Amino acid sequence: MVSAIFVVLLLVIGIYCILATYNLIRVLIGVEILIKAVTLLIIAAGRQNGNMALAQAMVVSIIVIEVVIMTIAVGVVIGIHRYNNSLDSRKIRKLKG
């Protein structure tokens, strides 16, 4: 139950972090917090149904995948910064329609 509260808390923080900022890196940090929240949910589920070994295996895989995604994402952000000299998401709205 306690972990469920923390999951919801982390989800709220993550969503707020994504919505409140225009900085691309901060948006990515918000996404990270969201992924952490659901990772915690998996651990809580594993503890609840007594299948902790499987939960641990899943969590380790999720962490690895998340790192890969963030590496690519930060690479893309660096590329955007090269063109704009800024990390402001309001300046990258060329694609419309």
Q: Which is nearer to other proteins, 2 or 95 (CB)?
A: 95
Within a 10 A sphere around the Cβ of 43, how many other Cβ atoms? 16
Cα four-point dihedral sign 77, 82, 87, 93: negative
Q: Residue 41 Cβ, how far from other proteins at the closest point, in Å?
A: 4
Positions in the binding site for other proteins (CB under 8 A): 24, 27, 31, 34-35, 37-39, 41-42, 44-46, 48-51, 54-55, 58, 61-62, 65, 68-69, 72-73, 75-77, 79-80, 83, 92, 94-95, 97
Q: Residue 5 Cβ, how far from other proteins at the closest point, in Å?
A: 15
Of how many residues is the chain composed? 97
Within a 10 A sphere around the Cβ of 57, how many other Cβ atoms? 11
